[in-house]
Amino acid sequence: MIYIVTDPTPRPMAQQMDLLRSTLTMAGVEFITANLSEIPNNSTVITDCFVMETPVGNRGHAIATELMTAAQSRNLRLVFYYPSEACATLSASFAPTGQRLAELGLEGYLVKNGNIDVAGYTKVYNLYEYFAWVMINKFNTARLSWVQRLIDTEPKTHRFLFLNGEHRGCRELIFNGVKAAGLLDDCIWSYRGSKGDTGIAPVAEWQDPFVHVDFRFLAFLPEHYYRTKVSVITETSQDEFFPTEKVFKCLMLGHPFILYAGPGALVQLQQMGFQTFAEWIDESYDHVPYPFERADAVIASMQSCPDDIVALSRSVIEHNRQHFFTIAHRAHRTLLDILTDIDHDVIINTNFAVTDVVVAEYFLK
């Protein structure tokens, strides 16, 4: 039996608990969402609560503290589960939780995203497939096929799609660099309440580029992609491999991309089985260790990018479109592998599959 203890505060990424519950259901693993008083000794407990949670007063801190106190006398195996975030975005909760576990000598595990390890846990796991899994459960497949066809066939009004949502220092750096290089006129772009969309706009769907859902994983404006040749992706982290919806959208849609992310991000994507565009785009920026210099290298790659990149890279585009679904569906298996590595008593139904009951419960709510 797996016991799940959740924060009652609404989470911005509630889908991560859907992934957990649907995976356990399909694999035939018994689980219950429980209060601490209901959990027997020597149990495995999965929680989305951490110490030092924000905002002040968030119940997660108290719940995590209570779990650790109980684990000292009841031999609980604690799994801290938050695959939507990485050290770049949630280190303020991941790190102090690990420190507290180490101080108490507790068996605690962390399931997150990103590839930076966190001290204090017995083991740290990275669930890179999380955002891909979310997207396959949110995008209408007919609409997806339609957009893919238009990416392949529609005339392009701009060379680049250059969307910058929430403010981050490195996004300001590269935005100013692209502007100084005179490339903004070649872009459909957005940055902190401003936008340049002369090729498609104004349109009702993109009135405010800062709050529009295009800056979340749940939706995208198709014209952004089929009117442009290449995405210039400014990922969340410049310090680690933290694949989010930004890069997975391009892989899913088959939109060529230049990736301003942590060093080695392209290598990591290749290790996941995706193909990149080094045959036509200078991808040496991926090996530049520092964000300032990497931004300059990204801009240089924009300048040298061939105009017929979509036609040239057709085989890569098709490969990524197909492999995206392999990665997205692999999230269940990766999570099961993590859980069985933590708790060897977990019994898996090796023939687990998505059933109508699971679809209705977790994906059609």
Q: Are strands 2-5 and 108-112 parallel, antiparallel or unpaired?
A: unpaired
Distance separating alpha carbons of residues 365 and 363, to the nearest angstrom: 6
Q: How far apart are CA 40 and CA 48, in angstroms?
A: 19
pLDDT at 197: 56
The SS3 call for residue 62 is helix
Q: Which two tokens stand for residue 93?
A: 């909760």
Q: What is the per-residue pLDDT for 199?
A: 45
Strands (E), the chain: 2-5, 31-33, 44-47, 77-81, 108-112, 123-126, 158-164, 187-191, 194-196, 228-234, 257-260
Quick one: pLDDT at residue 202? 44
Q: How many Cα atoms are found within 13 Å in the side-chain-facing hemisphere of 352?
A: 19
Whole-prediction pTM = 0.89
Dist. CA 27–CA 183, nearest whole Å: 50
- pLDDT, residue 27, reads 87
285 and 174 Cβ atoms separated by less than 8 Å: no
Scan for tokens 């085989």, then name that residue. Answer: 315
Instruction: Tell me what pLDDT residue 352 has.
Output: 65
354 contacts 25 by C-beta, under 8 angstroms: no
String of b and e for 187-205 (b: at least 16 CB within 10 Å)? bbbbbeeebbbeebbeeee
DSSP line for 228-248 = EEEEEEE-S-SSS----HHHH
pLDDT score, position 212: 45
Two tokens, residue 320: 């990524």
Find where tokens 């580029």 sit: 209
Mean pLDDT (10-residue bins), the chain, 365 residues: 89 86 89 92 95 77 95 96 94 96 97 96 97 81 88 95 81 93 91 60 53 50 91 93 94 97 97 98 96 96 96 97 94 94 80 66 59
